[in-house]
Amino acid sequence: MTKTQKYMKINGEQVPFTNEKNILSVVRKVGIDLPTLCYYSELSVYGSCRMCMVEDQKGNIITSCSTPPKNGMEIRTNTPRLKQYRKTILRLYLASHSRECTTCPKNTSCKLQDLAIRYGIDEIKFDKTEKAYKNDYKIDHSSTSITRNPNKCIQCGDCVRMCNETQNVGAIDFALRGYELKVCPAFDMPLAETECVNCGQCAAVCPTGAITVKDDVPAIWKAIFDDKKRVVAQVAPAVRVALGEEFGLGDGENVMPRIVAAMRKLGFDEVYDSSFTADLTVIEETNEFLNKLEKGEKLPLFTSCCPAWVKYAEEKHPELMSQVSTCKSPQQMFGSLIKAYDKERNEKDGKETVVVSIMPCTAKKAEASREEFVTGGTHDVDMVLTTNGLADMIYESGIVFKELEPEALDMPFGMYTGAGLLFGVTGGVTEAVIRKVIKDKSHTNINNIKFCGVRGMEGIKEFELPLEDGETILKIAVVSGLGNVEKLIEKMNAGEAFYHFIEVMACPGGCVGGAGQPFGLMDKKKLRADMLYASDKQTQMRHSDENPILPELYNGVLKGRTHELLHVHYPTHE
């Protein structure tokens, strides 16, 4: 370590560095928050905003994001010139930016607004010419998950790099050039008509309000205030380890009991847990897998919980759709199950069950609106709200989240095992399936599964799992980030790899990193994942077969209807 230790001078102070990839990281390490609008450490370096520039000893202006640190280098981060340039650049941004800040969904969380405040921009100056920018781009509302407002786009390209590099989707890119440059789908088509998989990661990294997640809060309020509606909510596993961040609680803290309390106060009639239907998914999917394995059908079996992955497979790899599990996702299982379950009740009290999902995810909105999930004219899941959307409702209603007393979930669908809880993190579905597959279900044996390679935030995890029959060795892969699944598929197509089972989650890190969550980089996602694992460890029931409600259901509402209620056939499945 000492051998590679190098030094540079930052504002006259000697600062050691080792293998930081750029000056920016070294500067931030010493507690100076250099401004950036186009830099994410998890995306490739783009260098378009120029805000992170520093001045070297010769008076050269260099962008710290794209310049590696050199031994003996001297830089300053705050000189009169730099201040002037940053201000001018911010003014240029603002001159071509819609300034409807007060009504913007990103108001107070917009990076551009934040920097304008930090640099005291009290006058824009450059917006007075006759040719100055007019706020006249059409807003694209077509997608069920996200809204694109090009008037607020600063062309930083974060979304483009996310969509193309990390997710390999390529639904959006730059078009035109110069001041006409804009980010849009090919031929400026409505986003809903493109290969967009609704993962929403573009919105997650958008520094302004140019791409935002859609949350139809007013519609949910309307249902809540309607006496004829029984508003039944399901809360996904990943939500509970992220919402607390929004209210100043510790990063990754499991705030599920407070969420239940808040939702009751908001007026939800019943609050359940998607971890419950996750348990159902484990049973159904494991059976499907073992059945295929036994019959020697074509493997791998791909998981189907992630709707962004399903859409990706439909768009880019229809040939693989027959290998995607027919299990509905836990969200959709919950919707069809609860509506079947409530049929009798509704007939009795004349109410109508409305299912609201609280999800870390934007693709869940698109999933809920698919026609495969419409029964008798109504959607199995009526409305989907993101973690951030739930926070908005809590803020709006004046509930002080921090001060809420914990409350327990409603029964019976508030019952879940630790296995169901794991669905919120990459590898979780696989680990839950392994728990069902192994015969020795002692706590020690279940705890030891984590050593097989299923855990961790890496984008691709591959490992082997010897079955207890002493013969079969399962080859398993777990991927998060759609770009990674593409790498795996290429490997398989090239004959370099074979797997029995592949879990795919579209968002890097799994659902804890969903686009509906408060924004966080991988370190934050890892904290959330750690908390889910910790919560799993605290549960009494660790594998899905232990869920006591399930036998009751299989003998009751699910009897003879498992296929109808728990499985789906997408047109592309054939």
Partner 1 sequence: MKIIIGQGSCGIASGAKKTEAEFKRLLKEKKLDAAVTIAGCIGSCYLEPIVDIINDDGSASRYVHMTADKVEAVVNKHIIGKIPVTKYLISEAGSAFLTKQTRIALKNCGEINPEDINDYITAGGYQALKKALFEMNGDAICREIEKAGLRGRGGGGFPTGKKWVQVRSQQEPVKYVVCNGDEGDPGAFMDRSVMEGDPHKMLEGMIIAGIATGAQVGYIYVRAEYPLAVHRLQIAIAQAEESGYLGENILDSGFSFSIRINLGAGAFVCGEGSALTASIEGLRGMPRVKPPRTVEQGLFGKPTVLNNVETFAHVSYIITHGAEGYRKIGIEKSPGTKAFALTGNVNNTGLIEVPMGTTLRTVIFEIGGGVKNGKGFKAVQIGGPSGGCLTEKHLDMSLDFDSLSKAGAMIGSGGLVVMDEDTCMVGIAKYFMNFTEHESCGKCVPCREGTHVMNGILDDIVNGRGDMGQIDMLMELADTITNTALCGLGKTAASPVVSTINEFKEEYIAHVVDKYCPNGSCKGLKRVEIIEELCKGCAKCQVVCPVNAITGKRKEPYKIDWAKCIKCGLCLDSCNFSAIVEK
Tell me, yes or no, if 42 is annotated catalytic.
no
Q: Using CB under 8 A as the criterion, what x/- string covers residues 33-72 for binding partner 1?
A: ------------xxxxxx--x-------x-x-xxxx----
Contacts (Cβ under 8 Å, ≥6 apart) of 71: 6, 7, 8
Under a CB-based contact definition with an 8 Å cutoff, are residues 15 and 124 in contact? Answer: no
Question: Of 325, 336, 480, 544, which is the active-site residue?
Answer: 325
Looking at 13, 130, 227, 347, which residue binds partner 1 (CB under 8 A)? 130
Q: How far apart are alpha carbons 438 and 157 in whole angstroms? A: 46
Nearer to partner 1, 119 or 570 (CB): 119
Number of residues that bind partner 1 (CB under 8 A): 39
Residue 369 DSSP class: T
Q: Examine residue 151 and tell whether it contacts partner 1 (CB under 8 A).
A: no
Residue 162 DSSP class: I
Tell me, yes or no, if 344 is annotated catalytic.
no
Looking at 177, 295, 298, 439, which residue binds partner 1 (CB under 8 A)? 177
Looking at 117, 176, 408, 521, which residue binds partner 1 (CB under 8 A)? 176
Q: Examine residue 405 and tell whether it contacts partner 1 (CB under 8 A).
A: no
Question: Of 511, 524, 525, 526, which is the active-site residue?
Answer: 511
Q: Examine residue 25 and tell whether it contacts partner 1 (CB under 8 A).
A: no
Query: Can you give the length of the chain in residues?
Result: 574
Nearer to partner 1, 81 or 441 (CB): 81
Residue 137 Ramachandran class (φ > 0 left, ψ -120 to 50 alpha, else beta) = beta
Distances (CA, A) of 220 to 338, 356, 382: 18, 8, 9
Under a CB-based contact definition with an 8 Å cutoff, are residues 412 and 440 in contact? Answer: no
Strands of the sheet with 270-273, listed across from one edge? 270-273, 229-235, 352-359, 383-386
Stretch that binds partner 1, among 149-157, 330-338, 373-381, 540-548 (CB under 8 A): 149-157
Q: Examine residue 8 and tell whether it contacts partner 1 (CB under 8 A).
A: no
Q: Whole-number minimum distance, CB 8 to partner 1, in Å?
A: 16
Tell me, yes or no, if 52 is annotated catalytic.
no
Residue 476, H or E segment: strand 473-480
The number of CA neighbours under 13 Å toward the Cβ of 537 is 11
- 442-501 positions binding partner 1, by CB under 8 A: none
Tell me, yes or no, if 325 is annotated catalytic.
yes
Nearer to partner 1, 130 or 347 (CB): 130
Nearer to partner 1, 173 or 269 (CB): 173
Q: How far apart are alpha carbons 227 and 229 in whole angstroms? A: 5
Tell me, yes or no, if 352 is annotated catalytic.
no
Q: Examine residue 85 and tell whether it contacts partner 1 (CB under 8 A).
A: yes
Under a CB-based contact definition with an 8 Å cutoff, are residues 461 and 469 in contact? Answer: no
Q: Examine residue 170 and tell whether it contacts partner 1 (CB under 8 A).
A: no
Under a CB-based contact definition with an 8 Å cutoff, are residues 198 and 213 in contact? Answer: no
Give the residues lining the site for partner 1 (CB under 8 A): 45-50, 53, 61, 63, 65-68, 81, 84-85, 88-89, 92-93, 95-96, 125-126, 129-132, 154-155, 157, 173-174, 176-181
User: What are the residue numbers of the active site?
Assistant: 285, 288, 305, 325, 364, 367, 372, 511
